[in-house]
Amino acid sequence: VANEGGKHWTVNEVRALIRIWSDKNIQQQLEGTVRNKRIFEQVAARLQKFGIDRDWKQCRTKYKNLKHEYKSVKSAQDSGSTSKSMKFFNELDAILGHGTMEHASKSDN
């Protein structure tokens, strides 16, 4: 299937995904593993409670896309460009920003 994501994610669906992703427990699990099907099955199950019907693959794909987009906006900002932005940057920065700060301070030494 060319478009693995299926139908487009609505703003509310993305918000719900980010809300689940912001759970410290989920974050720790994601940081510690590459084989994360089980984690995304949990995420999909939690989305279902919000009435959002997504399978684990769709959740993982959306997660990867958001993370990739966040990183490209972040690196553009770090290099002084303000032209790049994204819809959920602040929410993702709250989740992902802590990791990038640590890396930034380490590379300064």
Residue 88 lies in a domain: yes
Q: Which two tokens stand for residue 107?
A: 């590379």
Q: What is the dihedral of CA 54, 27, 18, 41, to 10 degrees?
A: 10
Residue 84 lies in a domain: yes
Residue 5 lies in a domain: no
Which helix (H) or strand (E) segment is 35 a member of? none
Residue 47 lies in a domain: yes
Residue 1 lies in a domain: no
- What tens-digit pLDDT sequence spans the chain (109 residues)? 334 446 799 999 999 999 999 999 999 999 878 889 999 999 999 999 999 999 999 999 999 999 999 999 999 998 998 788 899 999 999 999 875 444 443 433 3
Number of structural domains the chain divides into:
1
Residue 22 lies in a domain: yes
Residue 6 lies in a domain: no
**Measuring CA to CA, how many Å separate 97 from each of 4, 9, 22, 24?**
28, 23, 12, 14
The pTM (predicted TM-score) of the whole model is 0.80
